[in-house]
Amino acid sequence: MEKATAQKYFPGSNSPFGFYSYYDHIAGNRALRLFIFKGGPGVGKSSFMRYIGENFRNEGWEVEYHYCSSDHNSLDALVIPSARITFMDGTPPHNRDPVYPGALEEIINLGEYWDEHELIKYRDNIINLSRDIKNCFDLGYRLLFEAYGSYMQIKELLETKKPPRDCFYLTKLVEGYFNKKSFVIPYKYEPRSLFASAITPQGISHVIDSIVHPSLNVYVIKGRECGIFVKSGLNKIAQMAWERGYFVEKYHCPFDPEHLDGLIVPDLQIALFNGTSPYHDERFDLPGYNLFEVEINNNSCTPREKNYINDAYRRMDLLINQAVEHFKMAKNNHDTLEEYYVNAMDYRRLEFKREEIYQKVKNMVNAGVGL
């Protein structure tokens, strides 16, 4: 059997407003079974989820891997969409506790598999490292908020201008897709909000190549002096699609998380993504895809205003890079913290638990419980 695909997402991101989360959209209201992990750093939550996910992929089930913005190689959640089963890290900064325990959620407590005495021996080290990690993140968030000030300077200037005519072309383009399909029930589906990019210790990380697929027409909207208009245009298009009854995948901007960086309307086979700063063209290196670039030119800015905007972008980019350095220090400290827990874990017992849960989920699926 051919191994099934795995789509990748970020359910949260570091942002100018701290850690910003759309974790409620991982499972939404569709999950029939939600497994919530509890435990400390390095206890095996991510590898547990990856083990379940890879086994289901080998059996032909498509899965979703939701990555951590504090370490883009680590999983925060696993979703098996067709089975309506979700596994989720329920520890800070994305605390999750059961609402309907037993009926919907089940806790997997990985703290049962550590040697508490081994951790107590290093209590002071663990506490100090945890405080250092928090301080690194706090400093990073302050720098991102400073960068947001430069972003707001650009936004305030551009809001005095008329939107470029190309923005209206973008709306007309999407309306053309709407007109090809019959009108469906308005507001039928709630949109799903996630991140396709995140500000991580490794820099700005992207998973767009996993989200889009060759059947989509992918429009990349560019124009360094028009990013504000692009975001408002994407918000408007998402609203239009929702009002017409289409399911919309909304991908938020990690730097301005209440606004969109991209969207996909699967029924219309269309995807639109912002290609302006602080993002780079390489994330749209999708050979063999139906990829279209839409250049939006802002001719209403004077040369002096364009210089002002470019200077603000330079300050913004510099501060984002400085914030990333603090997130990198936080990760280094977190790696050290994890070692204390790794050395205290009984992984042999944990492997039995992992296999037990895998077999349980497999039996549920075979019995049709999660379908």
Average the pLDDT over 320-325 and give the result.
97
Residue 198: inside a domain: yes
Side chain identity, residue 87: F
Residues 192 and 265 in one domain: yes
Q: Is residue 101 part of a domain?
A: yes
Q: Per DSSP, what are the bridge partners of residue 101?
A: 105
Backbone angles phi, psi at 91, to 5 degrees: -105, 165
- Boundary-marking domain end, from 266, 285, 300: 300
Domain of 242, in residue numbers: 162-300
Do 352 and 295 have their domain in common?
Answer: no
Say if residue 110 is in the same domain as residue 168.
no
Let me know if residue 122 belongs to a domain.
Answer: no
pTM of the model: 0.93
69 in a structural domain:
yes
| Domain-located, residue 359 | yes
The number of CA neighbours under 13 Å toward the Cβ of 99 is: 8
Q: Provide the pLDDT for residue 175.
A: 78
Whether residue 96 is found in the same domain as residue 212 = no
Please check whether residues 175 and 290 belong to one and the same domain.
yes
Helices (H), 82-121: 116-120
Average pLDDT over residues 339-366: 95
184 and 104 co-located in one domain: no
Q: Residue 315 domain-assigned?
A: no
- Residue 287 confidence (pLDDT): 66
Domains contained in the chain, number: 2
Residue 252 and residue 173 share a domain: yes
Establish if 230 belongs to a structural domain: yes
User: Is the residue at 36 inside a domain?
Assistant: yes
Is the per-residue pLDDT at 304 higher than 80? yes
Q: What are the phi and psi torsion angles at 353 (to 5°)?
A: -65, -40
| pLDDT tens digits, one per residue of 170-200 | 777 777 887 776 666 766 778 999 999 999 9
Shared domain for 283 and 175, answered yes or no, is yes
Looking at the DSSP assignment, which residues form a beta bridge with residue 6? 63
283 plus 177 within the same structural domain: yes
CA distance 158 to 225: 8
